[in-house]
Amino acid sequence: MPVVDFTDFSGATCSNIKWALEGYSLFIGTAYSSSADYYADIQANSYANNTENVSRFGPKSPNKRTAIGSRFQSTYGNQTVLAVFTTASAWEVRNNMKNMIGCSMGVMLDGGGSSQIAWKTSSGTKSYWDAGGENRAIQTMVTVNADTWA
């Protein structure tokens, strides 16, 4: 069931939560026979008390999308993957994160004009890619400070 408030979990407090991320699960570990089954899950049709379903962001329509996931590779170990899609449905994001990138877990984050990624090159120069070409200021972001970069 979608978690609206972290206090929905018994024993959760601000002091014992190390990090949290808001978004919609890509349900990478679940096998679906069709995109319709996937959309039924992310829209939480089976949860009568769900007031925060995914319908409000138009998951079936192609749009700019941002996702974060994790994968394991024998060469590099556990990796955090950040991805930005120029135009994709939620189903396409899920399948790309799972099948093309090899993630075992994934969450779809913000979309639209907020779908962008910034990084520093090995020389320390800031670079970025914005799915909409807007390069607009954003209010929140995920930051990854890795020991090594693959």
pLDDT of 4-54, one tens digit each? 455 556 666 667 666 666 677 888 888 999 998 888 877 765 544 545 556
Q: Tell me if 113 sits within 8 A of 63, measured CB to CB.
A: no
Q: Is residue 92 part of a domain?
A: yes
Q: Is residue 119 part of a domain?
A: no
Tokens, residue 33: 């026979």
In this prediction the pTM is 0.74
Q: Is residue 77 part of a domain?
A: yes
Rounded percentage of the chain residues whose pLDDT exceeds 90: 15
H/E stretch holding 107 reads: strand 105-111
Tokens, residue 143: 């930051």
Mean pLDDT for the chain overall: 77
The domain tally of the chain equals 1
Q: Helix (H, G, I), strand (E, B), or coil: what is residue 69?
A: strand
Range of the domain at 28: 24-111
Q: Is residue 94 part of a domain?
A: yes
Q: Is residue 135 part of a domain?
A: no
Q: Is residue 62 part of a domain?
A: yes
